[in-house]
């Protein structure tokens, strides 16, 4: 109950005072289904999941990040001529994103979400990339039902069983990706390729932005 009250309080604050933003920038989506597509990225602060392989640890603590209104974020996206926004984190679903989605959608932007599914859903999305993390439950079946993309990070061969269990929960037309943990990718790639060739529901996600040295 205490956690629920804190959640509701946090959401209220976010909706009224703006959203804590780690960074926003215009770039190419580096990984998954939209790899290579240009988009305006909004990286929101806050995450409780503490994944060991997280490459955005600076986003975990919301404190100190400036609050942005949906209108500010919309105007910045439009200033680049963006046609799509990627909302990511941190775990963006720590915040109530109804107002942000409404504002961006009204401006004609397509809305792509990256989430671990560890928080309840808000907002209205054109594309949901669900990236569940081992040991961190997906809190709502709605995430599995509405995911358009499933992306599982593989740290070792033992993670294939987790990936298959998650793939069994999403809809049949959800596009499923395996992605090697960046630090292990050289060692894991042969295993990953072999696995995908033998299990063709999966596709390979590469972190091309890191290969190119762009954000």
From residue 111, give the alpha-carbon distance in Å to each of 8, 100, 101: 24, 10, 7
Note if 54 is an active site residue: yes
Please pick, from the candidates 21, 45, 47, 180, the single residue that binds ligand SF4 as defined by CB under 6 A.
Answer: 47
d(CA 187, CA 102): 43
Catalytic position from the list 33, 56, 71, 72? 56
Note if 148 is an active site residue: no
Please choose, out of 12-20, 24-32, 47-55, 69-77, the segment that lies near ligand SF4 by the rule CB under 6 A: 47-55
Of 135, 102, 101, nearest to 118 by C-alpha is: 135
Burial of 162 (0-12, 13-18, 19+ CB in 10 A): middle
Q: Got the DSSP string for 150-208?
A: EEEEESSTTHHHHHHHHHTTS-TT-EEEEEE-GGGHHHHHHHHHHHHHHSTTEEE---H
Helix (H, G, I), strand (E, B) or coil at 95: coil
Give yes or no for a contact between 56 and 103, defined as CB atoms under 8 angstroms apart.
no
Please choose, out of 8-16, 32-40, 48-56, 160-168, the segment that lies near ligand SF4 by the rule CB under 6 A: 48-56
Note if 25 is an active site residue: no
Q: Is residue 207 near ligand SF4 by the rule CB under 6 A?
A: no
Please pick, from the candidates 116, 122, 179, 205, the single residue that binds ligand SF4 as defined by CB under 6 A.
Answer: 116
Note if 174 is an active site residue: no
Question: Least distance from C-beta 83 to ligand SF4, angstroms?
Answer: 25
Please pick, from the candidates 18, 30, 90, 132, the single residue that binds ligand SF4 as defined by CB under 6 A.
Answer: 90
Note if 41 is an active site residue: yes
Q: Is residue 49 near ligand SF4 by the rule CB under 6 A?
A: yes
Active site residues: 41, 47, 51, 54-56, 114, 209
Q: Which residues bind ligand SF4 (CB under 6 A)?
A: 47, 49-51, 54, 56, 59, 89-91, 116, 133
């Amino acid at each position: 109950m205490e956690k629920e009250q804190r959640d509701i309080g946090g959401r209220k604050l976010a909706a009224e005072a703006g959203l804590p933003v780690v960074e926003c920038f215009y770039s190419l989506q580096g990984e998954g289904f939209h790899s290579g597509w240009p988009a305006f990225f909004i990286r929101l602060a806050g995450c409780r999941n503490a994944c060991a392989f997280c490459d955005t640890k600076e986003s975990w603590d919301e404190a100190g990040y400036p609050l942005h209104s949906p209108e500010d974020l919309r105007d910045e996206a439009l200033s680049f001529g963006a046609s799509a926004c990627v909302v990511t984190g941190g775990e963006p679903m720590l915040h109530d994103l109804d107002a942000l989605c409404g504002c961006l959608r009204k401006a004609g932007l397509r809305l792509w979400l990256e989430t671990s599914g560890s928080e309840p859903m808000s907002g209205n999305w054109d594309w949901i990339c669900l990236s569940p993390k081992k040991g961190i439950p997906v809190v709502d079946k709605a995430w599995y039902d509405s995911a358009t993309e499933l992306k599982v990070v593989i740290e070792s061969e033992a993670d294939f069983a987790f990936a298959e269990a998650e793939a069994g929960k999403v809809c049949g037309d959800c596009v499923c990706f395996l992605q090697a943990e960046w630090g292990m990718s050289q060692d894991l790639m042969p295993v990953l390729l072999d696995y995908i060739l033998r299990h063709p529901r999966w596709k390979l996600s590469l972190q091309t932005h890191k290969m190119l040295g762009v954000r």
